[in-house]
Amino acid sequence: MTSSTRETRTVQAMHAIDRLTGAVIPPLHTSTTYARDADNALIGAQDYRRPKGPTEQQAAQVLAMLDDGADARLFSSGMAAIAAVLESVPTGGHVVAQTEMYYGARGLLQRALAKKRITLNLVAPGDLDALTAAARPATDLIWIETPANPSWAIVDIAKAADIAHAVGATLAVDSTCAPPCTTRPLELGADIVMHSATKYLNGHSDVLAGALVTRKSDTRWDEICEIHNKTGAIPGAFETWLLLRGLRTLHIRYARQSGTALWLAEQLAADTRLAAVHYPGLPGHPGHDVARRQMTGGFGGMLSVELAGGFEAARRFAAATKIFIQATSLGGVESLIEHRKPVEGADSPVPDALVRLSVGLETPADLLADIDQALAAAAATSKE
């Protein structure tokens, strides 16, 4: 499938014109149960909205198409989707994951380890030698995140897939910050891709949802579907309809956000008030060459900066912006800023002075001016 065909089919929600009314926008189905005829045969395709009603099925079909997957399931949150994958690991199964990743996912892994549900090895993102050393015949699951939040370290998905499959493990990829308009992990050899659909897929900061897409329907996927159904971790019909609404503009939103973020990173790279600028689109980023190969639709709207003045300078900077909103989350149409260390906690590996930026759709020059005045305000406050 060409990227233009994929984009067109997404914009039109896979040509889902309502045949009953002619509506060009997919309808919202809120019913939880579905009727049978006099012979007790279902009138339609559903009998109950768990695990998926008509609206959920439509959104799942769009996501499976976007990621070139065999099937997709929607969850009530990204965390619920991650939990379903971890639940599919057999008791005592070995998992390999990253030292740097979304801290909520890391917390789930550590909780499972503490309860002796799994054994666990953590390796630095992008360190393929360490990943090879950690993987062994007993390894059941390798979980990677690329770009890794919040330094945006890059992992070579194709090579990670080779390492996983060499020991018979499943490779699952958290691709939340690289949606399928730029990266399709399943095409690169991954077995399962996870999205926090709250972020770029929806793009409007008004939906909590997650998604899993599989490369093939196998016994592991059957188990994940069973977990999904029995735990009832499904999004509401209205949230799913909003997700479909957001998906229709995914490609154009992501392209604009990526372009602005790259321009901002290039401007900030020479700013002496910053100790570091982390963005995979910069040639000096350690994962730039791999990112160029697997992020074919842009490097994303996420970048992080480290303040030369340390923790307090980072705190003051994040609090001084006027356009960037100081809030948690990413991938929305509005730009957000966050001093990450206090959010993740004292045991987080995130540097004290790191500030995470999620670039929205505002005028690029306005965003740069806001960053500049906030850096100046932070510096002035430190001298008082």
For the chain, how long is the longest CA-to-CA vector? 81
The rounded distance, in Å, linking the Cα atoms of 92 and 71 is 28
Residue 4's contacts (CB-CB under 8 Å, 6 or more residues apart) are none
Comparing CA positions, the residue from 368, 151, 382, 152 lying closest to residue 271 is: 368
Q: How far is CA 168 from CA 124, 139, 191, 226, in A?
A: 21, 7, 11, 22
CA angle 322, 324, 326 (to 5 degrees): 95
Q: Are 31 and 53 in contact (CB under 8 A)?
A: yes
Q: Catalogue the active-site residues.
A: 50, 103, 174, 199
Q: Which two tokens stand for residue 320?
A: 């001084």
What are φ and ψ of residue 51, in 5° steps?
-90, -15
The β-bridge relationship of strands 93-98 and 336-339 is: unpaired
Structure tokens at 350: 């995130």
Q: Which contacts (CB < 8 Å, 24+ apart) does range 111-120 have?
A: 112/86, 116/92, 117/89, 117/91, 117/92, 118/86, 118/89, 118/92, 118/93, 118/94, 119/92, 119/93, 119/94, 119/95, 120/94, 120/95, 120/96
SS (H, E, C) 286-335: CCHHHHHHHCCCCCCCEEEEEECCCHHHHHHHHHHCCCCEECCCCCCCCC
